[in-house]
Amino acid sequence: MQRPRDSVPAGVAFSGGAYILWGLLPLYLVLLAPAGPYEIVAWRVVFSLVFCAILLALVRGWRRTAALLRDRRIVGWLALGAALLTVNWTAFVYAIATGQVVEASLGYFLNPIITVLLGVLFLRERLRPLQWAAIAVAAVAVGVLIAFHGAVPWIALALAFSFGFYGLVKNRTGGRVDAISGLAIETAILVPLAVVVLVLIAAGNALLAFGAPGLVFGTLGPWHALLMSLLGVATAVPLLLFAAGARRMPLSLVGLMQFFAPILQFVIGAWVLGEPMPFERWIGFAIVWVAVVLVVADAVPQIRAAQRRRVNRGRT
């Protein structure tokens, strides 16, 4: 089906809003201190489900969600997606709580390249030369960062691979699962685990409390409680904006725009929060950015070719 001429600008606006919100998310999560990352993730699951339930009631989407729940195959894929979300959210919030926003941004710079690689391994997609070059350069960048720091950037790799595999799950569910129903089912699957985590933190589990004296929610006044309660909104709104944008623009253009978020995260980590950026770390990131340039250089001609094909179809 041909998109209306004004749909792509609207798609850019929706997707741009999603990536800007994701890019600014570290600043929001910093305000939730001294709550530990595990408590934040647990409340994020709970309040995301609450917000999705409200949205489903407003758009009368319960019947559609119930139909999805009767499909065991869909539920299985969404359960896998829920597990991947747990890894992704925990790694990201842990990065913010421990002052590693820059490394988190590295994960999302690597994510498009990892996604391309997963497409080859699992979807049997064929790569063009520039895409192969981008993967090779990204591997060199990770190697350089490991060599200089003497440690694997596990937060970045966990974020890149978990979100990459999450994209694969969404590929498998196709257009059958809308954004609200999908997130509602995924968070519903995770709520029992989130409740267990919250109970353990309240009982004094030091590892899960992450230095906090038990549960923080509700103990630091109404402002902090409000910010914690809005975790569901902060989670669902960018996803809904992204879904609205992706329907209105070519997938290749969506792929290019995803670099907005890690750019903002990098700026926030390096300059706003003042995380250390020694020279050797700049070298590693510079190599990653070379890989990003290769991905962009490969994608731009594909976008232009797709636009020409749409124009030609419109004339016939």
Tens-level pLDDT at each residue, the chain (316 residues):
444 444 667 777 888 899 899 999 999 999 999 999 999 999 999 999 999 999 999 999 999 999 999 999 999 999 999 999 999 999 999 999 999 999 999 999 888 888 878 887 887 777 788 878 888 888 888 888 888 767 789 999 999 999 889 988 887 886 788 889 999 999 999 999 999 999 999 999 999 999 888 899 999 999 999 999 999 999 999 988 887 777 676 655 666 677 889 999 999 999 999 999 888 889 989 998 998 888 778 777 766 776 676 666 666 5
Predicted model pTM: 0.88
Q: Find the angle CA(85)-CA(102)-CA(250) to the nearest 5 degrees.
A: 55
| pLDDT in the model for residue 8 | 67
Q: DSSP alpha helices (H): ranges in the chain?
A: 7-30, 37-59, 62-69, 72-97, 101-123, 129-149, 154-173, 179-202, 206-209, 222-229, 231-246, 251-257, 260-267, 279-315
DSSP 269: I
Strand, helix or coil for residue 206: helix
Domain boundaries, the chain: 7-315
- Cis peptide preceding 34, ω within 30 of 0: yes
For the CA atoms of 49, 50, 55, 56, what is the dihedral angle to 10 degrees? 70
Listing DSSP states for 130-146 in one string gives HHHHHHHHHHHHHHHHH
Report the distance separating Cα 79 and Cα 68, nearest Å. Answer: 12
Tell me if 190 sits within 8 A of 78, measured CB to CB: no
| pLDDT in the model for residue 251 | 57
Q: Which amino acid is at 255?
A: G
| pLDDT in the model for residue 291 | 86
Q: DSSP alpha helices (H): ranges in 174-221?
A: 179-202, 206-209
- Classify burial at 169, counting beta carbons within 10 Å of its beta carbon; exposed 0-12, middle 13-18, buried 19 or more: buried
